[in-house]
Amino acid sequence: MRTRSLVAVTLVLSLAAVACAKSSTGTAGGGASTATSAAAPSPAASSDSGRYGSGYGSGSGGGQSSAAGSSALTVTQANLTFTPAEISVHQGDSITVEDTDSVPHTFTVEGTSIDVTNQAGQSQTVAIDLKPGTYSVICRFHVSMGMKATLVVA
């Protein structure tokens, strides 16, 4: 049993080290920046989550800019979960995505260009300029461990 625990801890630490080696796509030092996105052609829960299930090196920051704005709500990334797990916003709202964990996470809305990487302790403002509908949100780094949420755009 102890060997299994040691293997699991080693695996998690190895994955975290690989994630940390990836260059940050956000503002250095944990500052906020804004990610913008184009509207998705057709909102739907994605059935291709497997394509994100392996690897840490793909994806960009999702077209970030330095525009400032207020957030409709804050989504926290910690302990392999998004809080809240169901994110409800209106089209055009901005949200703050905050990584309060000790490892990097992504906020990736499947089937759209929203793909933000937060380093540990970093937060970013993300514009949700998507058509009304329901979208799957994942952390590309931890989707295989169940880090998923639902985004509902009204």
Residues 6+ positions from 49 with CB-CB distance below 8 Å: 110, 136, 138, 143, 148
Q: Where are the domains of the chain?
A: 2-153
- In this structure, CATH architecture of domain 2-153: Sandwich (2.60)
pLDDT in tens, the chain (154 residues): 544 444 444 444 444 444 443 333 333 333 333 343 333 333 333 333 333 333 333 333 433 332 345 788 999 999 999 999 999 999 999 999 999 999 999 999 999 999 999 999 999 999 999 999 999 999 999 999 999 999 999 9
Question: DSSP code of 27?
Answer: -
Give pTM, 2 decimals.
Answer: 0.59
What is the H or E stretch that residue 64 is in? Answer: strand 64-65
